[in-house]
Amino acid sequence: MRNRRGLFAGMQSGRLSGFVPYKGTKDLPNAGRISRFIRNFVDMKVALCQFSMEWEAAARNLRRAEELVAQAGADLALLPEMFATGFVTEPWRTALPDEEELLAWMRRTARRYATALAGSAVVRSGDRFANRFFFVRPAGGAERYDKRHLFSIGGEDAHFVAGRRRVVVEYGGLRFLPLVCYDLRFPVWCRCRSDYDAILCVASWPAPRREVWRTLLRARAIENQCYVVGVNRTGDDPWNHYAGDSAVVDFKGTPLCEADASRPGSTGKRSIGSGRNFPHGAMPTISCCDDCARNAVCGKIATFAGNLFRSGRAAFRQSPAGLGLTLGLHCLCTIFRMQDAI
């Protein structure tokens, strides 16, 4: 990766480009105070490969995606959600590419154009399916993240398995949190724990809710003091129209690059500035946050343990097993609640 490159958004349906020097960091002694410990600077070019997928036409969609990656000349190319097929909720009716074949295509493309390649696709997971985000490095290494929050309104939860593991991908000196579409609506899952520098969100977000998409990109950027790179599809499927609105948003919620499927093309330039303006050094809000959901659960467990101990029979209170269970529950809740303060 050469020095003095920038954060870039290259768009199909009118090429949108922007050059934004992004000063990332690596191997910092205190990730929560990045601005005080700048050691290395990383400039990365990211291509937003927004395009209209043909419904359930994997071969043609992969050819179109490769054309966009070839045109971008980027360090990282980001494809939309379910880029090979479009958003399918009945995957058993669809001729899906095999996971290993799809991964082999991503590796060939990444190696051929010397770029990391990321996007989500439908894959089999046991007797069900997963909406799996792949991040493939130019050298061939791959990481996977399964969409955590399934879009039940669209029937995704009926045949897909929700992911259980939060993943952070390191590449080129930067740390990325992968998200898939509906994940963007859940701030606790997206919360920065001083463990990533930018969010990568791939989506098939319908046009009637486009303002929600644009607002959530900014919200996640502001509350986590990070950069957000969001790529959405364009065109139509049997149920929805998609407007694109792919964007790069900085940690102040300012759009650095935006794209609209209705525009034939545009360009924009924006400088992020020096390392002192790096997001996690701006305000210490990340170190001050608490996990309301987790504390609520811990509170319920603690209340249950206390009621169990107080209302239990004398034999239970005096038994080593009963006393150990109650004390164990109290200690577990205390440890969880202290984690935010450590």
Q: Which residues are catalytic?
A: 81, 147, 181
**What residues have CB less than 8 Å from 313, skipping those under 6 apart?**
none
Q: Read out DSSP for 83-141?
A: TTT-S-S-GGGS-PPPHHHHHHHHHHHHHHTT-EEEEEEEEEETTEEEEEEEEE-TTS-
- Give the Cα separation of 33 and 35 in Å (integer): 6
**What residues have CB less than 8 Å from 15, skipping those under 6 apart?**
71, 265
Alpha helices, DSSP H, located in the chain: 58-72, 99-112, 187-190, 210-224, 285-288, 292-311, 314-318, 320-338
Alpha carbon dihedral 74, 78, 79, 81, in 10-degree steps, equals 180
Q: Read out DSSP for 256-279?
A: EEEEETTSS-EEEE-----GGG-G
Task: Tell me 15's DSSP state.
Answer: -
**8 A C-beta contact, residue 24 and residue 16:** no
- Closest of 138, 202, 140, 144 to residue 169, by C-alpha: 144
**What are the φ and ψ backbone dihedral angles of 160, each rounded to 5 degrees?**
-110, 150
